[in-house]
Amino acid sequence: PPLYIITPTYRRPEQLAELTRLGYTLKHISNLFWLVIEDAEKPTTLVTKLLQKINVPFSHLVAQMPEKFRKNKVKPRGVSNRNRGLEWIRANASDGVLYFADDDNTYDLDIFDEMRYTKKVSMWPVGLITKYGVSSPIVRNGTISGFYDGWIGGRKFPVDMAGFAVNVNFLISRPNASMPYKPGYEEDGFLKSLSPLNLTEIELMASNCTQILVWHTQSKKNPNAMALDMTKYNNTNLVELKQ
């Protein structure tokens, strides 16, 4: 079955570096389709060029964060993009598995082999997240007995975006499933929108959640780089760019 990888991304100095690292990771995986969805008005030319160069089968889409959320202090990051990805899958896919892979995380190739056989929803641990250092289902006798996460926040599914995958036919059987514009509750809201979905039905990956195959890494921002739009770099303009 095909894998559909939904990657939200947005313009910033680190963008091309993040997409380079993720793209060459995905290149090792066969039968994979990469949905790269920019939070932007129109596609960034250098992103399109990079995707063509990496040569993983892809679709480059845009889905801008609605205006009303853009001025919020805590923004619903990547939500418009992921919902656009879900819409694309509903219109174009008929089997397989979908996974939300943020552009800045780190992925062991084994997780893609495991998630590919998801029948409904699968879950596994995510490393380097919150003060606990890991977020994971707690497994007792082969099923979920709870969740270990630095912030439970009253959620039914206190998991990170990188910690679950969904079968495409299961998604299609839930025509109203989507992600809410609710910071902190995106994963929980989306998983709840797939209901009915019992905790006992969730398939546990990464050897019953004993292995960490995905890390919530974050690139350190270089505040000075913010002044220079790296997507405009071409060397011939360095004299103009120099202040």
Binding site, annotated residues: 104
For Mn ion, give the closer residue by CB, 104 or 187: 104
Question: Going along 109-208, which residue ranges are E strands?
Answer: 121-123, 126-127, 134-140, 143-148, 164-167, 203-204
Binding partner of 149, given ligand UGA, Mn ion, none, CB within 5-8 angstroms per partner class = none
Query: Of these, 18, 38, 104, 187, which contacts Mn ion (CB under 5 A)?
Result: 104
- Taking the CB of residue 180, how many other CB atoms lie within 10 A of it? 16
Q: Which stretch binds Mn ion (CB under 5 A): 27-35, 94-102, 141-149, 163-171?
A: 94-102
Binding string, residues 50-79; x marks residues near ligand UGA by CB under 6 A = ---------------x---------x-xx-
The yes or no reply on residue 104 touching ligand UGA (CB under 6 A) is: yes
> Per CB under 6 A, does 216 bind ligand UGA?
yes
Q: In what order do the strands lie in the sheet with 58-62?
A: 58-62, 32-38, 3-9, 97-100, 164-167, 121-123, 203-204
Other beta carbons within 10 angstroms of residue 208's beta carbon come to 12
**Pairing between strand 121-123 and 126-127?**
unpaired
Measured CA to CA, the distance from residue 164 to residue 186 in angstroms comes to 13
Which residue number, 100 or 181, has a Cβ lying nearer to Mn ion? 100
- What's the gap between Cα 202 and its chain centre? 19
Catalytic residue among 187, 201, 203, 240: 187
186 contributes a contact to ligand UGA by CB under 6 A: yes
DSSP code string of 52-99: HHHT--EEEEE-PPPHHHHT-SS--TTHHHHHHHHHHHHHH-SSSEEE
Chain positions 147 to 166 lying near ligand UGA, rule: CB under 6 A, are: 160-161
Tell me the window of 4-12, 39-47, 67-75, 103-111 that interacts with Mn ion (CB under 5 A): 103-111
Active site residue 18: no
What residues pair up with 36 in beta bridges, in sequence order? 7, 60
What pairing do the DSSP bridges indicate for beta strands 203-204 and 97-100? unpaired
Residue range at the interface with ligand UGA (CB under 6 A); choices 50-58, 100-108, 113-121, 147-155: 100-108
Q: Which residues bind ligand UGA (CB under 6 A)?
A: 8-10, 39, 65, 75, 77-78, 81, 102-104, 160-161, 183-184, 186, 216, 218
Site residues (vs Mn ion, CB under 5 A): 102, 104
